[in-house]
């Protein structure tokens, strides 16, 4: 079965990466980390944010962007950036595409974006807002890609358990 991919370019904040890792486990999405990282993967903040899900995460590390490209030569990549002309929801995401996000302080380097202007996508924001939190941005775009691909084998129904109010109190 096809599997979506999240790519983090030089992430700096361990809690964001931990949260994203947890989201990847919950959605059967691969996580790709392009170094240098702004933290050690053994940090408590990663474990705290990712909770006990981190052990189940399909994660690959790369020494740099070139290493990532060489090891994923057929990757269809969409680049999340506030500089894009296309809104993320206007794109048709392939079931095995890669959604790439830049580091918290600077985003994806402009030289990379300039090479792929048609694959750059943005999340609309009000006014002069610089950007959304990285883990929120990943969740927004990932769930749009999942929705477009009929949620790729995910649980689509839950079940309420009927309890009397007196039993709960």
- Is residue 123 part of an annotated ligand binding site? yes
pLDDT at position 123 over 90: yes
Query: Measured between alpha carbons, how far is 32 from 76 in angstroms, rounded to an integer?
Result: 14
pLDDT at position 143 over 90: yes
Which residues in 36-147 belong to E strands, given as ranges?
59-62, 77-80, 86-87, 98-101, 120-122
Question: Domain residues of the chain, as ranges?
Answer: 5-168
Calculate mean pLDDT across residues 145-162.
85
Alpha helices in 2-80 (DSSP H): 14-27, 44-50, 65-71
Per-residue pLDDT, 51: 59
For the domain covering 5-168, report its CATH number.
3.40.1280.10
- Is residue 131 part of an annotated ligand binding site? yes
Which range (11-15, 32-36, 64-68, 142-146) has the least confidence? 11-15
Per-residue pLDDT, 167: 63
Calculate mean pLDDT across residues 17-43.
90
Q: Which residues contact 72 (CB under 8 A, 6 or more apart)?
A: 32, 98
pTM of the model: 0.89
In tens, the pLDDT along 31-90 reads: 999 999 987 777 566 666 555 677 889 999 999 999 999 999 999 999 999 999 999 999
Mean residue pLDDT across the chain: 90
DSSP state of 56: G
């Amino acid at each position: 079965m096809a599997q979506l991919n999240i790519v983090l370019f030089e992430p700096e904040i361990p809690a964001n990466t931990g949260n994203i890792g947890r989201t990847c486990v919950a959605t059967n999405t691969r996580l790709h980390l392009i170094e240098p990282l702004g933290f050690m993967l053994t940090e408590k903040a990663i474990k705290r944010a990712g909770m006990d899900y981190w052990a189940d995460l399909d994660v690959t590390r790369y020494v740099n962007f070139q290493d990532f490209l060489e090891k994923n030569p057929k990757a269809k990549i969409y680049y999340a950036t506030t500089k894009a002309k296309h809104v993320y929801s206007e794109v048709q995401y392939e079931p095995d595409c890669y959604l790439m996000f830049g580091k918290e302080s600077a985003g994806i380097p402009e030289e990379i974006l300039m090479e792929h202007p048609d694959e750059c996508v943005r999340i609309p924001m009000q006014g002069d807002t610089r950007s959304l939190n990285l883990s929120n941005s990943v969740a927004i775009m990932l769930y749009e890609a999942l929705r477009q691909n009929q949620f790729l084998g995910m649980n689509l129904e839950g079940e309420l358990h009927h309890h009397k109010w007196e039993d709960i109190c």
